Structure 1
Amino acid sequence: PALSASLGCDAVGVPAQYGFRLMSHLPRAGCVFADADQWWWIVPSGSDLDLDWPEQASYATGAYVPSGRPRLIHAPDSRTPYTPPIPLFLMVCQVTGVVPSWDSSGRPRAVPAP
């Protein structure tokens, strides 16, 4: 209740094996939830627009995650629950071995690494 989520909430899930690495390399993390299989990062609604998240990532509109009962493992230092989506996208691409690229319209998209 003390956090402002005025931009709505979606969630990006990544396999748990990448969780600690992502957390240690992101400049700022918002609320992060985890269960045995996935770590879920809260992002502003619409963070999937113009971003083609790698196949290993799951995107949950409305932050309704398809797993059991993930628990909060990281609370943000600020009054916002969000992890910035662009740095998260770039880090998810890096840890999953997917090269992020931008198409001619200027929209980023992820492509499999050669």
Structure 2
Amino acid sequence: MPTLGCDAVGFPARHGFRLLGRLPRNGCVFADSDWWWWIVPAGSDLELTWPLPSHYAKGAQVPGTDPRLISWPDDNSPYTPPIPLYLMACQLTGTAPLWTAGVGGPA
């Protein structure tokens, strides 16, 4: 099975359970005492501006301290779908989704 590569999106731990419980599907989720990290396909930051206080980590190189696996998906895919995660992050932070200019506009 080919891989898409992995990045990670982190949120302060205070938002962890809320995100985990509201997303329609979670992939692998890692956590330490300060941050929770959702594994997403590489390139999930293209044409998106992830809202603060989230942190996007290319290559899933997270700046955490001994993160532990706290959620494993029921299927074989380690990924959390990035668009629902992004929209939930925007809702959680009170930020309007920001797509790259020109995307979805007239050709």
The TM-score, its normalising length taken from structure 2, stands at: 0.91
Correspondence for 1:8: 5
Matched, 1:95 2:92: yes
What is the Cα deviation at residue 5 of structure 1? 6.8
CA contact (8 A) 1:5 1:80 kept: no
Would you identify which runs of 4 or more consecutive aligned residues in structure 1 move more than 3 Å? 101-104
1:75-114 equivalence runs, <5 A: 75-102=72-99, 104-106=101-103
Distance 2:37 2:7 in 1: 10
1:39-50 equivalence runs, <5 A: 39-50=36-47
CA contact (8 A) 2:49 2:99 kept: no
Structure 1 gap ranges (5+): 108-114
Correspondence for 2:32: 35
Aligned CA-pair RMSD:
1.5
Amino acid at match of 2:50: W
Match of 1:69 among 66, 69, 89: 66
> What are the superposed Cα offsets for residues 18-56 of structure 1, whole Å, 9 maximum, x if unpaired?
111111110000000001111000000000000100020
Matched, 1:24 2:6: no
**Bigger share in strand:** 1
The TM-score, its normalising length taken from structure 1, stands at: 0.85
Determine helix, strand or coil for the equivalent of 1:18: helix
CA contact (8 A) 2:48 2:100 kept: no
Structure 2 gap ranges (5+): none
Matched, 1:54 2:51: yes
Distance 2:10 2:18 in 1: 14
User: Quick one: structure 1 residues 5 and 89, their matched pair in 2 at CA, closer, same or farther if it must change by over 3 Å?
Assistant: farther
Bigger shift: 95-104 or 51-60? 95-104
